[in-house]
Amino acid sequence: MMQDDKVIVCEKLTKRFGDFIATNEITFNVHKGEIFGFLGANGAGKTTAMRMLCGLSSPSSGKATIAGYDVYTQTELIKKNIGYMSQKFSLYENLTVRENIEFFGGIYGLSDERIKSKTDELLRVLGLKSEANKLVASLPLGWKQKLSFSVAVLHDPQIVFLDEPTGGVDPVTRRQFWDLIYEAADRGITVFVTTHYMDEAEYCNRISIMVDGRMEVLDTPTNLKHSFQARSMDEVFYQLARGAKRGD
């Protein structure tokens, strides 16, 4: 891959809380349009690392640029160029579908015209036209997840961070969700996914696994399974994380 198509560049990124090293010198790159899986057991340092990458927390040492912006000095620019979706919170349950889209469009500074055209486009693509004026709370979980992903990429960010995006939905709905992810990646949006579920991890182009603050492995699912002589990613993870010292 070419040098200039790296959208996440991390070099020895470290975060300390007193004596505790939450994230210990992690080094990796993520390319444009890649679906990158970021895995680790509870307390392995995933959340801390992700906060640094999103510009929410300043690293203790090391270097990182996100979408070309420095995580120390250009956090505001980083925030403008990324999207974020978590299973826990993404949409306002007591606003309607349309109001949610308009709200998040407004937050990211889209013009009124653009919000309007984006809203119509989204409602059409997601097949939510007849639900546009219904409260988000009344939607099934699968639709909420699809909607919140679409809202997270509403402003065409360079990178979208997904924090355990598809827990608890049926396999068909989950695939519809992954179709959206593939489509976004095809448009050149880089997708950065954290998850506990290894079958979900297998959808990623490359996977990294963190253990006790370090990034132990980084490769494609096929290569990882091959080098650990494992049948599934679950086994790979188990072999790596079994020896972990830290819990959360």
Partner 1 sequence: MEAVVVKNLTKTYGKEKTVAVDDVSFSVNKGELFGLIGPDGAGKSSIFRMLTTLLLPDGGSASVDGHDIVRDFRQIRSSVGYMPGKFSLYQDLTIEENLHFFATVFGTTIEENYHLIQDIYVQIEPFKNRRAGKLSGGMKQKLALCCALIHKPTTLFLDEPTTGVDPVSRKEFWEMLKRLKEQHITILVSTPYMDEASLCDRIALIQGGKILSIDTPQNIVNAYPDRLLAVRAHEMYRLLKALESYPAILSSYAFGEYAHATLADTDTEALQAYLRGQGLTGVEVKDADVTIEDSFIKLLH
Query: Which residue, 10 or 209, is less far from partner 1 as judged by CB?
Result: 209
Q: Which of residues 91-130 bind partner 1 (CB under 8 A)?
A: none
Distance CA 105, CA 118 (A): 9
Q: Is 31 among the residues that bind partner 1 (CB under 8 A)?
A: no
d(CA 112, CA 127): 22
- For residue 119, the minimal CB distance to partner 1 (Å) is 25
- 199 makes contact with partner 1 (CB under 8 A): yes
Single residue of 12, 112, 183, 226 touching partner 1 by CB under 8 A: 183
Q: Which two tokens stand for residue 2?
A: 């070419």
Per CB under 8 A, does 216 bind partner 1? no
Q: Is 179 in the site for partner 1 (CB under 8 A)?
A: yes
Q: Which stretch binds partner 1 (CB under 8 A): 23-31, 66-74, 111-119, 172-180?
A: 172-180
Judged by CB under 8 A, the residue of 63, 98, 173, 219 near partner 1 is: 173
In whole angstroms, the minimum distance from the beta carbon of 172 to partner 1 comes to: 5
Three-point CA angle 68, 44, 173, nearest 5°: 75
Residue 7 CA to residue 171 CA, distance in Å, equals 31
The span from the CA of 170 to the CA of 6, in Å, is: 34
Residue 7 in contact with partner 1, rule: CB under 8 A: no
CB atoms within 10 A of CB 111: 10
| Interactions with partner 1, residue window 139-158 (CB under 8 A) | 140-142
Question: Is 202 one of the binding residues for partner 1 (CB under 8 A)?
Answer: yes
Q: Residue 204, class by beta-carbon neighbours within 10 Å (0-12 exposed, 13-18 middle, 19+ buried)?
A: buried
Q: With left for phi above 0 and alpha for psi between -120 and 50, is residue 42 left, alpha or beta?
A: beta
> Any contact of residue 234 with partner 1 (CB under 8 A)?
yes
The three-state secondary structure class of 93 is coil
Number of residues that bind partner 1 (CB under 8 A): 39
Q: At what angle do helices 112-126 and 141-152 cross, to 10 degrees?
A: 140
Contact residues toward partner 1 (CB under 8 A) are: 40-43, 140-142, 167-173, 175, 178-179, 182-183, 185-186, 196-199, 202-203, 220-222, 233-234, 237-238, 241-242, 244, 247-248
